[in-house]
Protein backbone atom coordinates (compact mmCIF):
# COMPACT_ATOMS: atom_id res chain seq x y z
CA UNK A 1 0.00 0.00 0.00
CA UNK A 2 1.44 3.38 -0.94
CA UNK A 3 0.45 6.72 0.48
CA UNK A 4 0.69 10.09 -1.23
CA UNK A 5 4.35 10.58 -0.29
CA UNK A 6 5.31 7.38 -2.05
CA UNK A 7 6.24 5.84 1.33
CA UNK A 8 4.95 2.45 2.19
CA UNK A 9 2.31 2.80 4.91
CA UNK A 10 2.19 -0.39 6.89
CA UNK A 11 -0.40 0.64 9.45
CA UNK A 12 -2.94 3.37 8.97
CA UNK A 13 -5.14 4.55 11.83
CA UNK A 14 -7.95 6.99 11.07
CA UNK A 15 -10.00 8.94 13.61
CA UNK A 16 -9.67 6.22 16.19
CA UNK A 17 -11.76 6.64 19.33
CA UNK A 18 -11.82 4.40 22.40
CA UNK A 19 -14.14 5.28 25.25
CA UNK A 20 -14.44 3.71 28.68
CA UNK A 21 -17.84 4.81 29.96
CA UNK A 22 -17.65 8.58 29.75
CA UNK A 23 -13.85 8.68 29.42
CA UNK A 24 -12.36 9.16 25.93
CA UNK A 25 -8.98 7.48 26.46
CA UNK A 26 -8.24 7.70 22.70
CA UNK A 27 -9.88 10.72 21.16
CA UNK A 28 -9.79 10.82 17.36
CA UNK A 29 -6.24 9.63 16.64
CA UNK A 30 -4.96 9.39 13.04
CA UNK A 31 -1.47 8.41 11.90
CA UNK A 32 0.45 6.18 9.50
CA UNK A 33 3.43 3.98 10.19
CA UNK A 34 6.01 3.65 7.46
CA UNK A 35 7.42 0.20 6.85
CA UNK A 36 10.98 -0.13 8.09
CA UNK A 37 10.73 2.68 10.65
CA UNK A 38 11.05 2.61 14.40
CA UNK A 39 8.37 5.09 15.46
CA UNK A 40 8.24 6.37 19.03
CA UNK A 41 5.09 7.11 21.02
CA UNK A 42 5.50 9.39 24.01
CA UNK A 43 3.24 11.37 26.31
CA UNK A 44 2.44 11.85 29.99
CA UNK A 45 0.94 9.13 32.20
CA UNK A 46 -2.68 8.52 31.31
CA UNK A 47 -2.33 10.09 27.83
CA UNK A 48 -3.90 7.00 26.21
CA UNK A 49 -0.78 5.33 24.77
CA UNK A 50 -1.40 1.82 26.09
CA UNK A 51 -5.09 2.09 25.24
CA UNK A 52 -4.12 2.98 21.67
CA UNK A 53 -1.92 -0.16 21.53
CA UNK A 54 -4.65 -2.33 23.02
CA UNK A 55 -7.14 -1.07 20.49
CA UNK A 56 -4.82 -1.57 17.51
CA UNK A 57 -3.89 -5.10 18.65
CA UNK A 58 -7.53 -6.12 19.18
CA UNK A 59 -7.63 -6.23 22.98
CA UNK A 60 -10.22 -3.42 22.97
CA UNK A 61 -12.92 -2.88 20.37
CA UNK A 62 -12.65 0.60 18.86
CA UNK A 63 -15.57 2.87 19.74
CA UNK A 64 -15.19 4.34 16.23
CA UNK A 65 -12.60 4.93 13.53
CA UNK A 66 -10.63 2.58 11.34
CA UNK A 67 -7.39 0.62 11.50
CA UNK A 68 -5.73 -0.78 8.38
CA UNK A 69 -2.77 -3.12 8.50
CA UNK A 70 -1.10 -4.00 5.19
CA UNK A 71 -4.16 -2.68 3.40
CA UNK A 72 -6.57 -4.84 5.37
CA UNK A 73 -9.19 -3.49 7.82
CA UNK A 74 -8.37 -4.99 11.22
CA UNK A 75 -10.43 -2.75 13.53
CA UNK A 76 -12.51 -4.93 15.86
CA UNK A 77 -10.82 -8.23 14.91
CA UNK A 78 -9.82 -10.42 17.88
CA UNK A 79 -6.13 -10.37 18.91
CA UNK A 80 -5.34 -13.87 17.59
CA UNK A 81 -6.45 -12.92 14.08
CA UNK A 82 -4.47 -9.68 14.10
CA UNK A 83 -1.52 -11.68 15.41
CA UNK A 84 -1.82 -14.08 12.47
CA UNK A 85 -1.50 -11.15 10.07
CA UNK A 86 1.91 -10.37 11.60
CA UNK A 87 1.07 -7.59 14.07
CA UNK A 88 2.04 -8.35 17.68
CA UNK A 89 2.38 -6.36 20.88
CA UNK A 90 4.06 -6.67 24.26
CA UNK A 91 2.44 -5.72 27.56
CA UNK A 92 3.49 -2.77 29.72
CA UNK A 93 3.56 -5.26 32.60
CA UNK A 94 4.94 -8.59 31.34
CA UNK A 95 2.62 -11.55 31.88
CA UNK A 96 4.68 -14.74 31.64
CA UNK A 97 3.30 -17.98 33.03
CA UNK A 98 5.08 -18.01 36.38
CA UNK A 99 5.10 -21.78 36.89
CA UNK A 100 6.58 -22.49 33.45
CA UNK A 101 10.19 -22.16 32.43
CA UNK A 102 11.53 -19.48 30.15
CA UNK A 103 11.80 -22.02 27.31
CA UNK A 104 8.25 -23.30 27.86
CA UNK A 105 6.90 -19.76 27.93
CA UNK A 106 8.64 -19.06 24.63
CA UNK A 107 7.39 -22.28 23.03
CA UNK A 108 3.80 -21.52 24.05
CA UNK A 109 3.36 -18.94 21.34
CA UNK A 110 1.20 -20.49 18.63
CA UNK A 111 3.03 -21.00 15.35
CA UNK A 112 0.26 -23.00 13.67
CA UNK A 113 1.36 -26.27 15.16
CA UNK A 114 -0.54 -29.31 14.04
CA UNK A 115 -0.21 -30.89 17.50
CA UNK A 116 -3.21 -28.90 18.66
CA UNK A 117 -5.58 -31.05 16.67
CA UNK A 118 -6.93 -34.37 17.85
CA UNK A 119 -6.54 -36.17 14.52
CA UNK A 120 -3.02 -35.02 14.12
CA UNK A 121 -2.16 -36.34 17.54
CA UNK A 122 -3.46 -39.76 16.57
CA UNK A 123 -2.34 -40.09 13.00
CA UNK A 124 0.60 -37.82 12.52
CA UNK A 125 2.60 -38.39 15.64
CA UNK A 126 5.97 -38.26 13.94
CA UNK A 127 5.06 -35.04 12.12
CA UNK A 128 3.92 -33.52 15.40
CA UNK A 129 7.16 -34.55 17.07
CA UNK A 130 9.16 -32.98 14.24
CA UNK A 131 7.20 -29.76 14.59
CA UNK A 132 7.72 -29.66 18.32
CA UNK A 133 11.43 -30.14 17.74
CA UNK A 134 11.44 -27.27 15.25
CA UNK A 135 9.51 -25.08 17.70
CA UNK A 136 11.97 -25.89 20.50
CA UNK A 137 14.91 -25.13 18.22
CA UNK A 138 13.40 -21.82 17.15
CA UNK A 139 12.68 -20.91 20.78
CA UNK A 140 16.30 -21.69 21.72
CA UNK A 141 17.64 -19.60 18.85
CA UNK A 142 15.46 -16.66 19.84
CA UNK A 143 16.38 -16.97 23.53
CA UNK A 144 20.03 -16.94 22.50
CA UNK A 145 19.40 -13.83 20.40
CA UNK A 146 17.86 -11.95 23.37
CA UNK A 147 20.56 -13.28 25.72
CA UNK A 148 18.35 -15.50 27.88
CA UNK A 149 19.75 -18.88 26.78
CA UNK A 150 21.37 -19.57 30.15
CA UNK A 151 18.06 -18.94 31.89
CA UNK A 152 15.93 -21.08 29.59
CA UNK A 153 15.36 -23.72 32.29
CA UNK A 154 14.53 -21.15 34.97
CA UNK A 155 10.94 -20.49 36.09
CA UNK A 156 9.71 -17.25 34.53
CA UNK A 157 8.73 -15.98 38.00
CA UNK A 158 12.43 -15.97 38.98
CA UNK A 159 13.41 -13.50 36.26
CA UNK A 160 14.19 -9.88 37.06
CA UNK A 161 12.00 -7.13 35.64
CA UNK A 162 14.45 -6.48 32.81
CA UNK A 163 14.80 -10.18 32.00
CA UNK A 164 11.01 -10.45 31.83
CA UNK A 165 11.07 -7.65 29.26
CA UNK A 166 13.52 -9.74 27.20
CA UNK A 167 11.26 -12.79 27.55
CA UNK A 168 8.35 -10.69 26.24
CA UNK A 169 10.49 -9.76 23.26
CA UNK A 170 11.47 -13.41 22.70
CA UNK A 171 7.83 -14.47 22.80
CA UNK A 172 6.68 -11.94 20.21
CA UNK A 173 9.58 -12.91 17.93
CA UNK A 174 8.39 -16.53 17.84
CA UNK A 175 5.54 -15.62 15.50
CA UNK A 176 7.84 -13.98 12.93
CA UNK A 177 5.98 -10.64 13.01
CA UNK A 178 6.34 -7.77 10.55
CA UNK A 179 5.16 -5.08 13.00
CA UNK A 180 5.83 -5.10 16.75
CA UNK A 181 4.21 -2.71 19.21
CA UNK A 182 6.39 -2.44 22.32
CA UNK A 183 4.88 -0.99 25.50
CA UNK A 184 7.76 0.50 27.54
CA UNK A 185 10.57 -1.97 26.75
CA UNK A 186 12.92 0.14 28.89
CA UNK A 187 10.80 0.37 32.04
CA UNK A 188 12.54 -1.10 35.10
CA UNK A 189 15.59 -2.06 33.05
CA UNK A 190 19.10 -1.17 34.28
CA UNK A 191 21.24 1.04 31.99
CA UNK A 192 23.48 -1.84 30.80
CA UNK A 193 20.54 -4.06 29.90
CA UNK A 194 18.83 -1.08 28.28
CA UNK A 195 21.78 -0.71 25.90
CA UNK A 196 21.50 -4.43 25.08
CA UNK A 197 17.78 -4.10 24.41
CA UNK A 198 18.33 -1.08 22.18
CA UNK A 199 20.98 -2.97 20.19
CA UNK A 200 18.64 -5.95 19.74
CA UNK A 201 15.80 -3.72 18.58
CA UNK A 202 18.08 -2.00 16.08
CA UNK A 203 19.29 -5.35 14.76
CA UNK A 204 15.73 -6.65 14.38
CA UNK A 205 14.81 -3.44 12.59
CA UNK A 206 17.73 -3.92 10.20
CA UNK A 207 16.39 -7.40 9.54
CA UNK A 208 13.12 -5.84 8.40
CA UNK A 209 10.84 -5.59 11.44
CA UNK A 210 8.90 -2.34 11.83
CA UNK A 211 8.35 -1.03 15.37
CA UNK A 212 6.07 1.32 17.27
CA UNK A 213 7.52 1.91 20.74
CA UNK A 214 5.93 3.53 23.78
CA UNK A 215 8.69 4.73 26.05
CA UNK A 216 9.29 7.26 28.80
CA UNK A 217 13.09 6.86 28.56
CA UNK A 218 14.21 9.74 26.35
CA UNK A 219 17.63 8.16 25.64
CA UNK A 220 15.91 5.22 23.99
CA UNK A 221 13.56 7.49 22.06
CA UNK A 222 16.39 9.76 20.91
CA UNK A 223 18.63 6.90 19.85
CA UNK A 224 16.14 4.62 18.15
CA UNK A 225 13.01 6.40 17.08
CA UNK A 226 12.18 8.56 14.10
CA UNK A 227 9.56 9.91 13.82
CA UNK A 228 8.12 10.35 17.30
CA UNK A 229 4.39 10.69 17.94
CA UNK A 230 3.28 12.67 20.98
CA UNK A 231 -0.02 11.99 22.74
CA UNK A 232 -1.72 14.04 25.44
CA UNK A 233 -5.28 13.68 26.74
CA UNK A 234 -6.14 11.01 24.20
CA UNK A 235 -5.03 13.08 21.22
CA UNK A 236 -1.98 13.15 18.98
CA UNK A 237 -0.47 16.59 19.40
CA UNK A 238 2.71 16.25 17.32
CA UNK A 239 4.61 14.00 14.91
CA UNK A 240 8.23 15.06 14.44
CA UNK A 241 11.87 13.92 14.59
CA UNK A 242 13.03 13.25 18.18
CA UNK A 243 15.23 16.36 18.52
CA UNK A 244 12.27 18.55 17.52
CA UNK A 245 9.93 16.76 19.94
CA UNK A 246 12.36 17.24 22.81
CA UNK A 247 12.34 21.00 22.42
CA UNK A 248 8.70 21.56 21.45
CA UNK A 249 6.92 23.92 23.88
CA UNK A 250 3.59 22.12 23.41
CA UNK A 251 5.23 18.84 24.45
CA UNK A 252 6.90 20.39 27.48
CA UNK A 253 3.58 21.87 28.50
CA UNK A 254 1.82 18.50 28.13
CA UNK A 255 4.39 16.88 30.42
CA UNK A 256 4.26 19.68 32.95
CA UNK A 257 0.46 19.76 32.85
CA UNK A 258 0.47 23.40 31.86
CA UNK A 259 2.26 24.48 35.06
CA UNK A 260 4.64 27.38 34.32
CA UNK A 261 8.27 26.35 34.75
N1 LIG B 1 -9.68 -0.89 30.86
C2 LIG B 1 -9.89 0.38 31.22
N3 LIG B 1 -11.06 0.76 31.77
C4 LIG B 1 -11.29 2.06 32.13
N5 LIG B 1 -10.40 3.05 31.96
C6 LIG B 1 -9.21 2.73 31.42
C7 LIG B 1 -8.90 1.38 31.02
N8 LIG B 1 -7.64 1.37 30.52
C9 LIG B 1 -7.20 2.63 30.58
N10 LIG B 1 -8.13 3.46 31.13
C11 LIG B 1 -8.00 4.91 31.33
O12 LIG B 1 -7.65 5.48 30.08
C13 LIG B 1 -6.72 6.55 30.26
C14 LIG B 1 -5.48 6.25 29.43
O15 LIG B 1 -4.76 5.16 30.04
P16 LIG B 1 -3.51 4.47 29.33
O17 LIG B 1 -3.15 3.30 30.14
O18 LIG B 1 -3.82 4.27 27.91
O19 LIG B 1 -2.40 5.63 29.49
P20 LIG B 1 -0.85 5.59 29.11
O21 LIG B 1 -0.62 6.74 28.19
O22 LIG B 1 -0.46 4.25 28.66
O23 LIG B 1 -0.18 5.94 30.53
P24 LIG B 1 1.21 5.38 31.20
O25 LIG B 1 2.32 6.19 30.59
O26 LIG B 1 1.02 5.71 32.65
O27 LIG B 1 1.31 3.92 30.96
C28 LIG B 1 -6.46 6.64 31.76
O29 LIG B 1 -7.28 7.67 32.27
C30 LIG B 1 -6.88 5.28 32.28
O31 LIG B 1 -7.33 5.37 33.60
MG1 LIG C 1 0.79 2.79 29.39
Q: What is the 3-state secondary structure (H, E, C) of 122-143?
A: HHCHHHHHHHHHHHHHHHHHHH
CA atoms of 56 and 66, how far apart (whole Å): 9
Is the pTM higher than 0.75?
Answer: yes
Q: Give pLDDT tens digits for 150-188.
A: 999 999 999 988 899 999 999 999 988 999 999 999 988
Alpha helical stretches, state H, 6-94: 49-56, 79-84
Q: What is the 188 CA–ligand 1 centroid distance (Å)?
A: 19
- Shortest-distance atom of ligand 1 to CA 184: 27
Alpha helical stretches, state H, 124-229: 125-146, 161-173, 191-206, 218-224
Which among 132, 131, 128, 109 has a CA at the least distance from the CA of 119?
128
CA atoms of 194 and 170, how far apart (whole Å): 15
- Shortest-distance atom of ligand 1 to CA 43: 21
In the chain, where the domains are located? 9-96+176-256, 97-158
- Mutation choice for ligand 1 from 50, 92, 235, 254, CB with most ligand atoms inside 8 A: 50
Do residues 68 and 10 make contact, with C-beta atoms less than 8 angstroms apart? no
Q: Give pLDDT tens digits for 107-116.
A: 987 665 444 5
Which among 165, 224, 229, 218 has a CA at the least distance from the CA of 198?
224
What number does CATH give the domain 9-96+176-256? 3.40.50.300
pLDDT-derived band of residue 118, with 50, 70 and 90 as boundaries?
low
Do residues 219 and 242 make contact, with C-beta atoms less than 8 angstroms apart? no
- Mutation choice for ligand 1 from 47, 89, 182, 221, CB with most ligand atoms inside 8 A: 47
Amino acid sequence: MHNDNGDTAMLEVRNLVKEFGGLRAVDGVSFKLTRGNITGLVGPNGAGKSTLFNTIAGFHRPTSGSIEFLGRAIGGLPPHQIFKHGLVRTFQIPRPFAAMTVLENTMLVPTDQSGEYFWNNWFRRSAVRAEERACRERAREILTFVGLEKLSGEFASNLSGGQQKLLELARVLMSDPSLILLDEPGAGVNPTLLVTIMDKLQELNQRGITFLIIEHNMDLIMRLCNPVLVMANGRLILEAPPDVVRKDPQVLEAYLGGVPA
